[in-house]
């Protein structure tokens, strides 16, 4: 379910007004990785030597992710389900063949015992022995076929997994390209001496969180065709 996003800034130029932010805003608590889902409407983001950005939140709420990332995630989930189903099928078929082979071995032992006890004729024992040999060949043939199937399907799935991993890397590279450009434009005047990932922040003034500003700029660049 999409959550609404209220941007903290209308434009980058509004950063200059941050020094006049009311002290009451500092009592809202520390920012967390979910801050972007329920951002209060404020006039500006504080200017300071160090500010931070929740990169995961910016990625997950970006328009790039909504258009490209979510579709890729659906493909990954579908692949994982098909992989699990294939592995389960292979294991079940192998188990069935093993059970069939064990039964065949038990039948061969019983046949030998019955023959030694004189419970069946030599002719019958020979016929049953030939039947068991035919069944064993069939089981072995199906085992070989299963091994070939597993090898072939495994190679296909591995190739698909590699392709999905490459697609994931492309999406991340595209996001990182937008992120670097957005940060560059936001901090073009070098007002911030350092911009860090919010994951490293333990305690801070919430007005130093510029995640909403970065998200706004990333979306602006994406819609403006910065990646084309």
Within a domain: 3: no
In the prediction, which pLDDT does 34 show? 43
Within a domain: 210: no
Long-range own/partner contacts, residues 25-29 (CB < 8 A, 24 or more apart): 25/206, 25/207, 26/205, 26/206, 26/207, 28/206, 29/206
Query: Phi/psi class of residue 39: alpha, beta or left (left: φ > 0; alpha: ψ in -120 to 50)?
Result: beta
In the prediction, which pLDDT does 49 show? 85
Within a domain: 50: no
Q: Which domain holds residue 156?
A: 79-165
In the prediction, which pLDDT does 8 show? 30
Within a domain: 23: no
Q: How far apart are CA 142 and CA 97, in angstroms?
A: 8
In the prediction, which pLDDT does 5 show? 29
In the prediction, which pLDDT does 200 show? 85
b vs e for 130-169, b when ≥16 Cβ sit within 10 Å of the residue's Cβ?
A: eeeeebeeebeeebeebeeebeebeeeeeeeeeebeebee
Task: For residue 52, give the 3-state DSSP assignment.
Answer: strand
Within a domain: 137: yes
Are residues 57 and 201 in contact, defined by beta-carbon separation less than 8 angstroms?
no
In the prediction, which pLDDT does 204 show? 86
- CA 200, 203, 206, 208 dihedral sign is negative
**Ordered alpha helix ranges (H), 70-121:** 70-116
Within a domain: 151: yes
How far is Cα of residue 129 from the mean position of the Cα atoms in its chain? 54
For the stretch 144-190, pLDDT in tens is 999 999 999 999 999 999 999 999 999 999 999 999 999 999 999 99
- Using CA atoms, how far residue 212 sits from 5, 68, 181, in Å, is 9, 20, 15
Q: How far apart are CA 7 and CA 41, in angstroms?
A: 6
Within a domain: 106: yes
Within a domain: 83: yes
**Domain tally for the chain?**
1
| pLDDT < 50: residue spans in the chain | 1-44
């Amino acid at each position: 379910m999409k959550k609404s996003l209220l941007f903290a800034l209308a434009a980058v130029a509004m950063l200059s007004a941050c020094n006049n932010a009311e002290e009451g805003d500092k009592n809202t608590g520390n920012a967390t990785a979910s801050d972007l889902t329920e951002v209060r409407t404020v006039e500006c983001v504080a200017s300071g030597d160090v500010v931070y950005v929740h990169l995961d939140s910016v990625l997950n709420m970006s328009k790039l992710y909504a258009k490209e990332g979510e579709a890729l995630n659906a493909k990954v989930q579908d692949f994982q389900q098909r992989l699990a189903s294939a592995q389960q099928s292979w294991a079940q078929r192998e188990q069935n063949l093993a059970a069939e082979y064990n039964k065949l071995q038990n039948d061969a032992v019983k046949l030998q015992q019955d023959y030694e006890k004189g419970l069946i004729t030599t002719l019958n024992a020979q016929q049953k022995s030939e039947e068991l040999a035919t069944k064993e060949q069939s089981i072995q043939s199906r085992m070989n076929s299963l091994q070939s199937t597993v090898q072939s399907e495994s190679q296909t799935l591995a190739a698909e997994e590699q392709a999905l991993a490459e697609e994931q890397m492309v999406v991340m590279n595209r996001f990182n390209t937008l992120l670097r450009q957005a940060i560059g434009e936001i901090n073009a005047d070098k007002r911030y001496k350092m911009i860090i990932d919010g994951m490293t922040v333990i305690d801070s003034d919430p007005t130093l969180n510029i995640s909403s500003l970065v998200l706004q700029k990333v979306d602006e660049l994406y819609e403006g065709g910065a990646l084309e």
